[in-house]
Amino acid sequence: MSHEDLYKEMGVNKSATEAEIRSAYRKLAKKFHPDRNPGNRQAEEKFKRVQDAYDVLGDTKKRTEYDQFGKAGVGQFVNEGGNQYYTWGEGTKVRSDDLEDLFSAFGGSGDGRASVFEQVFGSRRGRGRQPAQPQAPTRGQNVERPVSLSFEQAIHGTTVEIDLVFNAQGRQKRQTLSVKIPPNVSDGQKIRVRGKGGPGQSGGSPGDMFIVCRVGKHQYFRREGHDIHLDVPISITEAILGTKVDVPTLHGTITVAIPPGTSSGSRLRLRGKGIPATGNGSLPGDQYIVVQIAVPNSLDDEQRSVIESCKEALDVNPRENLSWS
């Protein structure tokens, strides 16, 4: 197998960084995941090949060995019928004695240097040789999973189901994980799920999974911290004379008094009607009513006559006291 095959499988160059390889893997795994391609054998095979490629290229040590020696550098020793073999790729195998002799021919220990075989694989057990030194336990990588939440789910909390795909004893397995999203999470907030990240190496502990909350927009509410903002349109006459309007809140509909002479853009505060408190001494947020004066787009003759009369009666220049007027 060519040293370039796994890179081609991932769609990256041999010089790709770890971040580029990880990004390519996520895109391909998402595109060819069996859950998104039910009954598509080609997509399933591609998904498996991508997984196999990432198992090598996503591991620094395996990638280094692969770059130097190809697939043979990332195989494993097995015992069959009392003999030890080294196997790699699609079932290819060779006796350890033959493999060691082949590698030793390129730099044996006669001149004091360690053989290429020992540099790559470590000494084999048996025949008087010392066992390979075990690798130090390495913790698995942390992973991130974005989760879409509605505006209400982010405020009140919810439980989401996360589908996990992992390798166990050489076989792919799936697991559905229930994750509780606490109330009042914000867009981009991360929730850690311990031990559900990448697998550890050589007995190391697994990494963590971070749920990244992606909160959708509400139809009419806007959230700013723990406060809720709501635009409320009123007519010109309501702004001049004052009125009462029914407005929605997170806690139900309430009636709000708009005082006479309210200007467009004025904010009325509804104390405690914002994001609910979550305990631990926290206080609820507020809701702000943002007044928007709605001006009619067109007037008939009678309406225009009334407005002209009001203009004469209310001869006020709102720019009179401005410094630039």
Greater confidence (202 vs 231) lies with 231
**137 assigned to some structural domain:** no
State whether 242 and 150 are in the same domain: no
pLDDT per residue over 287-320, tens digit each? Answer: 999 999 999 888 899 988 888 888 878 777 888 8
Per-residue confidence (pLDDT) for residue 154, from 0 to 100: 94
What domain range includes position 111?
Answer: 5-121
Query: 121, 155, 177 — which closes off a domain?
Result: 121
State whether 301 and 232 are in the same domain: yes
**321 assigned to some structural domain:** no
Q: How many domains does the chain have?
A: 3
Note the maximum CA span of the chain.
Answer: 112
Q: What is the DSSP letter of 208?
A: -
Selection from 268, 212, 262 nearest residue 241 by Cα: 262
How many helices (H) and strands (E) would you count in the chain? 9, 14
State whether 181 and 238 are in the same domain: no
**303 assigned to some structural domain:** yes
Per-residue confidence (pLDDT) for residue 113, from 0 to 100: 43
CA-CA distance, 124 to 115, in Å (whole number)? 12
Give the range among 220-234, 256-270, 294-308 with minimum mean pLDDT.
Answer: 294-308
State whether 9 and 117 are in the same domain: yes
Domain harbouring 111, CATH code: 1.10.287.110
State whether 95 and 14 are in the same domain: yes
**129 assigned to some structural domain:** no
Q: Give 52's contacts (C-beta < 8 A, 6+ positions apart).
A: 6, 9
CA-CA distance, 24 to 22, in Å (whole number)? 6
**128 assigned to some structural domain:** no
State whether 24 and 114 are in the same domain: yes
State whether 17 and 65 are in the same domain: yes
CA angle, 310 as apex, 308 and 314 as ends, to 5°?
Answer: 125
pLDDT at residue 168 above 90? no
State whether 205 and 291 are in the same domain: no
pLDDT per residue over 172-210, tens digit each? Answer: 678 888 999 999 999 999 999 999 888 888 888 989 999
pLDDT at residue 74 above 50? yes
CB burial string 27-50: b at 16+ within 10 A, e below: ebbeebebeeeeeeeebbebbebb
**Do strands 287-293 and 227-234 pair parallel, antiparallel, or not at all (unpaired)?**
parallel
Cα torsion 193, 59, 131, 72: sign: positive
Question: In what order do the strands lie in the sheet containing 83-88?
Answer: 76-80, 83-88, 92-95
**10 assigned to some structural domain:** yes
Q: Cα–Cα distances in Å, from 37 out to 51, 146, 305?
A: 16, 20, 67
pTM: 0.52
State whether 167 and 246 are in the same domain: no
**132 assigned to some structural domain:** no
State whether 11 and 74 are in the same domain: yes
Per-residue confidence (pLDDT) for residue 321, from 0 to 100: 83
Domain harbouring 194, CATH code: 2.60.260.20
67 falls in which pLDDT band (50, 70, 90)? confident
Query: 197, 215, 233 — which closes off a domain?
Result: 215
